Amino acid sequence: MEENTKPTEGSAEKFFKEFGKKMDQFAGELKEAGSRAELDLRKKFEELKDAAQKVKTEAQKKERWQEVEASLKKAGDELENAFKAAFKKKE
């Protein structure tokens, strides 16, 4: 009769033991997935920063070229006025 005095593992205990193992495995996989997601997000963030810098640089170039264009137009108008003054018919 003493052989029956040892506690045997019941179905509930087996279930919770397996459940605990699966939860530990899931937690590990979740942590790994979180790490991968964090790396992906960091990579995307860096790509966005680079793109923003390029847009900023291009915008500054565009403003500079608009200023150059305006200055050249003004110079062209002045040159046109100078030619008109130099070659206008005397009355």
pLDDT digits (tens, 9 = 90+) for 32-83: 988 888 888 899 989 988 988 888 888 788 877 888 889 999 999 999 988 8
* H runs (alpha helix) in 1-91: 11-87
The structure tokens 């963030």 sit at: 45
Please name the residues in contact with 5: beta carbons below 8 A apart, sequence gap of 6 or more: none
pTM of this structure: 0.47
Which of residues 5 and 22 earns the better pLDDT score?
A: 22
